[in-house]
Amino acid sequence: MSEHESWTDARLLEAVADRDRRALEVLYARHAPWLVIRLTRRCADPALVDEAVQDTFVAVWRTARTWRGKGEVAAWIWGIGIRRLLDQLRRRPAVPLPAYDQVMVSAEEQVLLGIEYGELGQAMGRLSPELRAVVQATVLDGLTTREAGRLLGIPAGTVKTRMMRAKALLREELV
């Protein structure tokens, strides 16, 4: 039964589409930990995160057939995960918002930052926390304006205006 562990994510997901329970188990073991951690950064209530992770893998089981076989399985799972978290947030409105405290960035980290996002990353670091949160939710987490509003607890219109301001600022920084 250990053969599943040597399979790639894509192959596991295909097996899940074919109702292979063991494949789901292995997929869970691989992807649940980072998903828990990443979702915890969006929502501080562990009970909600657990619910969202649970819903995510149930959804993976039910919708594995809809995966088109392109791109990272992890990205696909994240897309489900963040939306399941939003569902949880919608059900229980009074939740602590994610902390977006300013942390000092060391010189070494500045270098690391540059690797994934280049100058964009550094420019983002100089945005105000509100604007950065909006960029993060829409650009990095792949949410729509409405979904981002729900995650951040602000109206969709506000997300739009903040996004416009952030874009303008980033353009200035980068040009």
Partner 1 sequence: MIEAVGLVKTYGRGRALDGLTFTVGKGVTGLLGPNGVGKTTLIRMLATVLAPDEGELRLLGRDPAGDRLEIRRRLGYLPQEPGYQRGFTVFEFVDYVAILKEMVERRARHDEVRRVIEEVGLTSVSGKRIRTLSGGMRRRLGIAQTLLGDPELILLDEPTVGLDPEQRLRFRELISHIGQDRAVVLSTHQTEDVAALCNRVVVLKAGRCEFEGTPEEIRALAEGRVWFSAEKSGVLSWRTGDGLFRNIGPAPEGARLAEPTVEDGYLLLLGGTAAEAAA
Partner 2 sequence: MSTWHMDDGLAVRYADGELNPTLAASVEAHLLACDQCRSLLAPRVPRSRLDRVWAEVADAVDTPAPGPFERLLRAIGVHDHTARLLGATHSLRLPWIAASTVALLFAALASGETTRWGLLSYLTLAPILPVAGVAVAFGRDGDPAHEIGLAAPYSMFRLMLMRAAAVLTSSSALALVMGLGLLDDDWTVAAWLLPSLALTSLTLVLSSRFDPRHCGAAVAATWLVVVVATNLREPSLAMFGGAGQAGYLAITFVSVVLLFFRRKEFS
Contact status, residue 12 vs residue 4, Cβ threshold 8 Å: yes
Q: Is 1 in the site for partner 2 (CB under 8 A)?
A: no
Judged by beta carbon, residue 8 or residue 172, the one nearer partner 2 is 8
Binding-site partner at residue 1 among partner 2, partner 1, none, CB < 5 to 8 Å by type: partner 1
Phi, psi of 93 (to 5 degrees): -65, -35
First to last CA, the chain: 55
Nearer to partner 2 among residue 4 and residue 30 (C-beta): 30
Give the one residue of 2, 66, 91, 99 binding partner 2; rule: CB under 8 A.
99
How far apart (Å, rounded) are the C-alpha atoms in residues 154 and 121? 24
Are 137 and 119 in contact by the 8 Å Cβ rule? The answer is no
Instruction: Answer yes or no whether residue 65 interacts with partner 1 by CB under 8 A.
Output: no
Three-class SS state of 126? coil
Nearer to partner 2, 13 or 53 (CB): 53
Task: State the nearest-atom distance from the C-beta of 92 to partner 1, in Å.
Answer: 24
Q: Which tokens hold the place of 40? A: 């915890």
CA dihedral for 42, 128, 162, 135, sign (positive or negative): negative
Q: Of 96, 109, 156, 168, which one interacts with partner 2 (CB under 8 A)?
A: 109
CB of 105 to partner 2, least distance (A): 5
Residues of this chain that interact with partner 1 (CB under 8 A) are 1, 4, 19-23, 25, 61
